[in-house]
Amino acid sequence: MARTKTLFTIGYEQTPSKAVLDELEDAGVKLLVDVRAIASSRRPGFSKSQLAAGLDERGIAYLHLRGLGTPKTGREAARSGKYDVLHRIYSAHLKTVQAREELDELSALVKKSGPVCILCYERDHTNCHRQWIAEIIQDRDGVKVKNLAAPQV
């Protein structure tokens, strides 16, 4: 009987990059999929090239799926605490061709790769688009979802 695959999620808000990398390594993650629309950050270690380099040092691959990121209007709604608006905007975004294709790509990676984790900024997964992505993959492929949380600063 095949073991159920696990899809991990993690947010890096208020967390140093070393703590996030440690958490990923401890969980046995082999591929980190960045689901931010813009893979840059003011937080040290979380811009695309810095993050990829830090992951590479630990034997973790990196992939940016920009099409699964939240559109600007959704990010603005999230910053304002308007999560119902965010959900509406992101639900519409998931119907775009690019988002559908990247969901399919993520689904295939979760099925065939070692443990996969999706990353974005928000620490609390309950109000984050990564949770909605994870739920889609869970429903579609029968994977288990586990939300990781590295220690805060």
Looking up residue 36, the CATH number of its domain turns out to be: 3.40.1010
Q: What is the pLDDT of residue 2?
A: 56
Query: Looking at residue 37, what is its pLDDT?
Result: 95
| Model pLDDT, residue 136 | 96
Centroid of chain to Cα 6: 13
Q: How many domains does the chain have?
A: 1
Residue whose pair of structure tokens reads 């790769």 in the numeric block: 113
- Give backbone dihedrals phi and psi of 10, rounded to 5 degrees, phi first: -155, 145
List 145's β-bridge partners, or say none: 7
For residue 152, the model assigns a pLDDT of: 84
* Residue 86 lies inside a defined structural domain of this protein: yes
- H or E segment and range at residue 72: helix 72-79
Structure token digits, residue 59: 């034997």
In a domain, 151, yes or no: no
Residue 121 lies in a domain: yes
What residues in the chain have per-residue pLDDT under 50? 1
pLDDT value, residue 127: 83
Inside any domain, residue 127: yes
Indicate whether 138 belongs to any domain: yes
**Residue 44 domain-assigned (yes or no):** yes
Q: Tell me the pLDDT tens digit for each residue of 105-136.
A: 999 999 998 799 999 999 989 889 999 999 99
pTM over 0.85: yes
Q: What's the pLDDT score for residue 1?
A: 45
Containing domain of residue 104, as a range?
Answer: 6-146
pLDDT at residue 4 in the model? 76
What pLDDT is attached to residue 89?
Answer: 96
Examine residue 152 and state whether it is found in any structural domain, yes or no: no
User: Does residue 132 lie within any of the structural domains?
Assistant: yes
Q: What are the residues whose beta carbons fall under 8 Å from the beta carbon of 59, sequence distance 6 or more?
A: 30
